[in-house]
Amino acid sequence: MATLRGAASLPKIIRPFIARRGLSATAVLSNWNKDWKPGPFPKTPEERAAAAKRYGLRVEDYNVYPDDGMGYGDYPKLPFASGDSKDPYEDWDIPELKRNYGEPLHALADIIGEDRWDANANPRYSYLDMFLTLAGFLTTITVIYILTLPYPLFLPVMPKQYPFNDLYVENGGSPETEPSIRHYTFEAVEETD
């Protein structure tokens, strides 16, 4: 009986949740992509403080891209640090991305990930050195190849012999001009008296 009484009062409990649920309060509309778009370029110190708070930064850490038409509105200008330059032993919340929860992403985060471009690489040899080394190696090989072109490696054999006058007609020669080519074994003809 108690179960039935509870079932009878259930509509009274959930009705407000259904009735008051407008379209603007749904999970879809409150997470639409326009809600993730950066705001307009901040001009006053108050706007800067509001923007810094929006992105979870302190005001003194907050820097912004110049508003020259190619900027990102109030999106913060973060240090240009790719994945390889971040400490692998730090206790990241998301170790795969070396990122903490709620941490703002760089505007170019899709290209400076660990799987893409290491923007802060400090190679042992400069890129010019690397290019010159490769170019020098390839040039040396090419020069050796060109210089030794007139001297092919070969095995000590004469050309293969074919019957029917070295297949003269078979290879497109005219039967009228067919030469008579004879090939011989290394067996001597025995003397016949």
Partner 1 sequence: MGNVMYAYITHPDTAPDFTKPPTFDPHVGFPNGRKERTIQATREELDAAGVPLDRRDYCVDYFLKLLRCRDQNFPRTVSSCHHEKHDYEVCQYEDYVLRMKEYEREKRLKEREKRIQEMQENEELGD
Footprint of partner 1 (CB under 8 A)? 151, 153-164, 167, 169-171, 182-191
Spatial separation of the C-alpha atoms in residues 137 and 153, rounded to whole Å: 23
Q: Which residue has the tokens 């509105």?
A: 73
Question: Residue 157 Cβ, how far from partner 1 at the closest point, in Å?
Answer: 4
Question: Residue 142 Cβ, how far from partner 1 at the closest point, in Å?
Answer: 21
**Between 2 and 155, whose beta carbon lies closer to partner 1?**
155
**Between 132 and 169, whose beta carbon lies closer to partner 1?**
169
**Between 2 and 189, whose beta carbon lies closer to partner 1?**
189
Spatial separation of the C-alpha atoms in residues 114 and 159, rounded to whole Å: 59
**Between 122 and 177, whose beta carbon lies closer to partner 1?**
177
DSSP secondary structure code for residue 114 in this structure: T
Spatial separation of the C-alpha atoms in residues 128 and 29, rounded to whole Å: 52
**Can you spell out the DSSP letters for 54-101?**
HTT--TTT--B---SSSS-TT-B------GGGS-TTS--SBTTTTB-T
| CA 122 to each of CA 84, 104, 118, 127: distance values in angstroms, whole numbers, following the listed order | 11, 25, 9, 10
Question: Residue 137 Cβ, how far from partner 1 at the closest point, in Å?
Answer: 25
**Between 28 and 158, whose beta carbon lies closer to partner 1?**
158
Question: Residue 162 Cβ, how far from partner 1 at the closest point, in Å?
Answer: 5
Question: Residue 141 Cβ, how far from partner 1 at the closest point, in Å?
Answer: 20
Neighbours of 86 (CB within 10 A): 14
